[in-house]
Amino acid sequence: MTNLEERTLALAGVIQASLCVQSLARHGELDVADFNALMQSVLILDAASTASVYGGVNGVRRGLTSLADGLLVSPKADSLEVLRYAMSLLHLQRQLLTDEQKFKQFAQQIENLSGYSKDDLPAKCSTIYQDFISVMRPQIIVNGEEEFLQRPEVPVQIRTLLLSGIRSAVLWQQKGGGRFSLVWQRTRMQNAARTLLAGGSVH
């Protein structure tokens, strides 16, 4: 797999987390498979490949589809909120990495997640997000319908998704992603996403 493919997969993880947050907050809908793939990605710290972080390319199919459809190249009006969430996650990840001590504490908490059951993971992920990311500025303000946001499980699920977005943002940077990539490689990543969805290889 090329570096462009790996970078595209990592960005798809950020985008998918943002899409799931929007869907949950605005419509009260959450795709369980998408959620589980993202939550599990937080636990994978030393993966053989970027795809394996998500359990395979299909783990971020929704994010890849959004990139393939032109999210970065020609975003539609209803996609602007998703882009805002995604760009905020990339910004907060860079900010977290600049504080070496804080990031070390954050990484330790992430490592400890492996000791929790699948049922307990969302609550723990939510707590880590609150302790390390929510206190940073600017905060990510999630817009949605009160009837959904007031459900006890929804804020926990949203913070878990946002934490997974931070994990994907770390991976994005590790694979060479940055502002330059977002501006100058938008079309190349769109094409890479299309090829990955088709099961091919980008050259």
The answer, yes or no, to whether residue 203 has pLDDT greater than 50, is no
**Given this model, what pLDDT does residue 200 score?**
52
Q: What is the pLDDT of residues 137-184, one digit of tens each?
A: 888 999 999 999 999 999 999 999 999 999 999 999 999 888 777 878
Total number of residues shown for the chain = 203
Q: Which domains does the chain have, with CATH numbers?
A: 3-197 (1.10.3890.10)
What is the C-alpha to C-alpha distance for residues 177 and 84, in angstroms, rounded to an integer?
A: 17
The answer, yes or no, to whether residue 13 has pLDDT greater than 80, is yes
Q: What is the pLDDT of residues 99-148, one digit of tens each?
A: 899 999 999 999 999 888 888 999 999 999 999 999 998 889 999 999 99
What is the C-alpha to C-alpha distance for residues 115 and 109, in angstroms, rounded to an integer?
A: 11
Q: Which of 97, 116, 117 is nearest to 107 (CA)?
A: 97
| pTM metric for this prediction | 0.95
C-alpha gyration radius of the chain: 16
Q: Which of 62, 71, 74, 77 is nearest to 32 (CA)?
A: 62
